[in-house]
Structure 1
């Protein structure tokens, strides 16, 4: 059994000027997915396109919105609202006052991944080398 605390996840956190991702589980945990708590900083807008991963996201605090750039549509996010990027959709995620979401990625992230210029995570091998951008 794995038990992780918020403090444990902070040790594997990745941050930039728009978000903080606290990574609770990673590929090395053998779960088949990774689980993250991500905080979208107030007033930020993120253009993302997870070409190499599927992602499921549950809003647990704050409010924001997601815009699907691939299939169209825009939805308000608030606690209890979930979205899943089942077709690697390009999207824009934003929050005016800050928002916390729980994210599951498949395949699992290794740990150090950060968004590239297209808003994507590279697919990393277990040792952190890039398998696919």
Structure 2
């Protein structure tokens, strides 16, 4: 099995971040948790385990609030899901990340992001065939 970065096109992520309510200043802060890749195929943001851990220490809470961080992660994983092949391992990973984000955000007293995820989950049911965030189709 080959390994590769989980990454999304930079322009698609910034559009998605805008669609979930991040301002341009918040987008600039949030994308710092990703590895920036520029190659012949374009500009990308890839998961980076070191940067994401240091973000919690280094960021100024006045620059981006926790609800926007949750929304940002949802935007990232939506992009991953939208470009994954149906039934692929990447699609399953994206769904798992979105499901985990739903429960983590709800546990942390977030209201908007869990509601948005629940709506998205129902709207994309025809693609992933999981009726509920708390159940798995066997």
When the two structures are superposed, what TM-score results if normalisation uses the length of structure 2? 0.26
Highest CA radius of gyration, 1 or 2?
Answer: 2
TM-score of the superposed pair, with normalisation by structure 1: 0.26
Which structure carries more relative contact order (alpha carbon 8 Å, separation 6+)? Answer: 1
Q: Which has the higher helix share?
A: 2
